[in-house]
């Protein structure tokens, strides 16, 4: 087996299993960003194929070697749904939901992280670069370094890193910090996340930090420097522009407006159905605007795509019930035969339909209570080639650091949110255009290709420094 010069390690492989036993690419920005580099570098991608107990040999797909890691049904329940999505996810999103600390989940997380590290080590060429992705694999950097000190190791954290007062709840906080510090470069979405991480390292491990550098002691008494800094992720902007300019997709956007009964304004929310996304807050604000007659259903419809997510985790089951109760109440009260208040879609759509929705939407509502970045905000902006449309953006998203001309909101402040929605609905087109232009420039200049280039450059630099 030839070994790879670049190895990506992520919870999921970038493919999904077809019903007829074949594989199809799972669309995603990460794949789009890494595919060209992976091809050039003789790359390999280590990850779970997405179904429990599936044993598959490594195979080539579109010029990239895929290395499947098998997870049993129990691994999925404990490592993935348990520790990753019911402990780390809520803890790192400022305990919006209560994290559950279960020792058997932690044990499973350790075991599964070892398996991912083993697979990465087996496929990596001498002196290769390994890039680990996200919170499911926080122990992998150190596990790889212990076995293969020749490798250059990067880690990117897609979700927030919480303040120390919250992080310190984690019974295994020390192991997690040590796991991450196995990397040469640890990337975060926001500068604030990198700062929280450095503070946790100082408080918990007493290591010295200077600017973005963290001095990590080695067993024999010497030390090395790990870099912890922000590399805000982005989208494959060109591919969204291309879709947004397709005549059939533009026609579909017009058709959507008609199917909704030609409301004057279409408001849109697009999220995985997740308690971090603030879906209830935006529905509450919208419902109150209807009840106070500041809006009516002829004037405005809210389309909410809530794609199914983590349906076996209790907090998600409960959230779905709450949202559906709310939609039923609002629609029951305000719908007419021709118009609906909230068109709620608990479904996943193809990308073309998402882009048609972005084109149809006059106002995009991103009201997350906490979000690492929020790519939906960037996708909406990229699609608005006419420079029209208004983005309402929560200040608790990473995207808020970059999209300075969005209407900034604190989703906890329902009155403020209502006023911001009204401002968006009433915004003159010249102001829309001024704001949108500035945001589009940002997203086009800093796309996901720039993101991966920046990260891999920093990693190459770190690798050279360590070798000299």
Residue 383 CB, nearest approach to ligand GDG (Å): 11
132 binds ligand GDG (CB under 6 A): no
- Candidate residues 6, 228, 355, 375; the one interacting with ligand GDG per rule CB under 6 A: 375
**Of 323 and 354, which CB lies nearer to ligand GDG in the complex structure?**
354
Q: Count residues near ligand GDG (CB under 6 A).
A: 19
Burial class (CB in 10 A: 0-12, 13-18, 19+), 11: buried
Contact between 372 and ligand GDG by CB under 6 A: the answer reads: yes
Whole-number Å distance between alpha carbons of 456 and 402: 21
Smallest distance from the beta carbon of 242 to ligand GDG, in angstroms? 15
- Quick check: 193 binds ligand GDG (CB under 6 A)? no
Nearest distance from residue 164's CB to ligand GDG, in Å? Answer: 21
Find the shortest distance in angstroms from Cβ 125 to ligand GDG. Answer: 27
Question: Is residue 307 a contact residue for ligand GDG (CB under 6 A)?
Answer: yes
Rounded distance, CA 79 to CA 259, Å?
43
Q: Which residues contact 137 (CB under 8 A, 6 or more apart)?
A: 9, 10, 11, 113, 116, 155
Asked whether position 101 contacts ligand GDG by CB under 6 A, the answer is no
The site string for ligand GDG over 39-78 (x = CB under 6 A, - otherwise) reads ----------------------------------------
**What minimum distance in Å lies between the beta carbon of 305 and ligand GDG?**
6
Beta carbon of residue 123, minimum distance to ligand GDG (angstroms, whole number): 24
Concatenated DSSP letters for 379-416? HHHHH-TTS--EEEEETTBTHHHH-TTSEEE-TT-HHH
Look at the block and give the residue holding tokens 């882009």. 355
**Rounded Cα distance, 361 and 213, in Å:** 43
Nearer to ligand GDG, 98 or 348 (CB): 348
The 221-250 site mask, x for binding ligand GDG (CB under 6 A), equals ------------x-----------------
Position among 178, 193, 379, 402 found at the interface with ligand GDG (CB under 6 A) = 379
Q: Which is nearer to ligand GDG, 272 or 320 (CB)?
A: 272
Q: Which is nearer to ligand GDG, 141 or 398 (CB)?
A: 398
Of 376, 403, 409, 425, which one interacts with ligand GDG (CB under 6 A)? Answer: 376
At 337 the three-state DSSP class reads coil
Rg (CA), the chain: 23
* C-alpha span between 297 and 261 (Å, rounded): 10
Tokens matching residue 462: 């770190």
CB 180 within 8 A of CB 173: no
Question: In this complex, which beta carbon is closest to ligand GDG, that of residue 235 or of residue 295?
Answer: 235
To ligand GDG, the closest distance from the beta carbon of 373 in angstroms equals: 3
From the list 199, 272, 294, 329, which residue makes contact with ligand GDG (rule: CB under 6 A)?
A: 272
Tell whether residue 452 is a contact of ligand GDG (CB under 6 A): no
Q: What is the contact mask toward ligand GDG in residues 331 to 370, using x (rule: CB under 6 A)?
A: -----------------xxxx--x----------------
Among 11, 85, 196, 374, binds ligand GDG (CB under 6 A): 374
Give yes or no for residue 270 binding ligand GDG (CB under 6 A): yes
Q: Are 409 and 365 in contact (CB under 8 A)?
A: no
Point out which span in 328-336, 373-381, 401-409, 444-452 binds ligand GDG (CB under 6 A).
Answer: 373-381
Does 311 engage in binding with ligand GDG (CB under 6 A)? no
Angstrom distance (rounded) from CA 401 to CA 398:
6
Residue 305 as a binder of ligand GDG (CB under 6 A): the answer is yes
Pairwise CA distance, residues 271 & 285, whole Å: 17
φ, ψ for residue 161, nearest 5 deg? -110, 120
Which of 53, 55, 52 lies closest to 81 in space, CA to CA?
Answer: 52
What lies within 8 Å, CB to CB, of 25 at 6+ separation is 14, 15, 16, 31, 61, 62
Query: Tokens 């159905």 appear where?
Result: 273
Which is nearest to 395 in space by CA: 380, 384, 406? 406
Taking alpha carbons only, the member of 368, 371, 356 closest to residue 392 is 368
Q: How many residues does the chain have?
A: 468
Interface positions, 145-184, toward ligand GDG (CB under 6 A)? 158-159
For residues 288 and 327, is the Cβ–Cβ distance under 8 A?
no
Applying CB under 6 A, which residues contact ligand GDG? 158-159, 233, 270, 272, 305, 307, 348-351, 354, 371-376, 379
């Amino acid at each position: 087996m030839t070994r790879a010069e670049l190895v990506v390690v992520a919870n999921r492989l970038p493919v999904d299993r077809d019903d007829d036993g074949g594989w199809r690419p799972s669309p995603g920005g990460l794949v789009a960003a890494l595919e060209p580099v992976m091809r050039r570098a003789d790359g390999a991608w280590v990850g779970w194929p997405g179904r429990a107990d599936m044993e598959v040999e490594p195979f080539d797909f579109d010029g990239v070697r895929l290395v499947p890691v098998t997870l049993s049904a129990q691994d999925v329940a404990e490592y993935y749904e348990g520790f990753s999505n019911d402990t780390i996810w809520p803890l790192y999103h400022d305990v919006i939901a209560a994290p559950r600390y279960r020792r058997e989940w932690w044990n499973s997380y350790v075991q599964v992280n070892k398996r991912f590290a083993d697979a990465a080590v087996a496929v990596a060429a001498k002196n290769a670069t390994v890039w680990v992705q996200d919170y499911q694999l926080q122990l992998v950097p150190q596990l790889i370094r212990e076995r293969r000190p020749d490798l250059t190791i990067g880690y990117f954290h897609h979700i927030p890193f919480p303040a120390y007062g919250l992080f310190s709840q984690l019974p295994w906080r020390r192991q997690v910090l040590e796991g991450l510090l196995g990397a040469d470069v640890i990337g975060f979405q926001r500068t604030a996340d990198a700062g929280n991480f450095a503070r946790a390292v100082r408080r918990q491990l007493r290591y010295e930090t200077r600017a973005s550098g963290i001095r990590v002691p080695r067993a024999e008494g010497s030390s090395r420097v790990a870099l912890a800094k922000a590399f805000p992720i982005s989208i494959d902007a060109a591919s969204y522009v291309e879709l947004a300019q397709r005549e059939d997709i533009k026609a579909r956007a017009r058709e959507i407006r008609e199917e909704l009964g030609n409301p004057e304004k279409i408001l849109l929310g697009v999220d995985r159905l997740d308690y971090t996304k603030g879906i209830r807050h935006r529905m509450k604000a919208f419902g109150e605007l209807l009840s106070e007659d500041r809006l009516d259903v002829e004037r405005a419809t809210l389309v909410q795509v809530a794609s199914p997510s983590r349906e076996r985790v209790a907090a998600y089951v409960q959230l779905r019930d709450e949202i559906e109760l709310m939609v039923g109440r609002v629609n029951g009260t305000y719908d007419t035969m021709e118009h609906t208040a909230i068109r709620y879609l608990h479904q996943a759509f193809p990308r073309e339909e998402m882009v048609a929705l972005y084109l149809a939407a006059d106002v995009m509502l991103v009201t997350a209570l906490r979000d690492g970045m929020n790519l939906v905000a960037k996708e909406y902006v990229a699609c608005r080639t006419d420079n029209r449309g208004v983005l309402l953006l929560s200040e608790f998203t990473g995207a808020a650091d970059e999209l300075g001309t969005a209407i900034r909101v604190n989703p906890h402040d329902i009155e403020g949110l209502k006023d911001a929605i009204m401002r968006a609905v009433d915004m003159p087109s010249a102001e829309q255009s001024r704001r949108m232009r500035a945001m589009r420039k940002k997203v086009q200049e800093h796309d996901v290709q720039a993101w991966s280039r920046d990260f891999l450059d920093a990693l190459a630099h770190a690798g050279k420094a360590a070798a000299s």
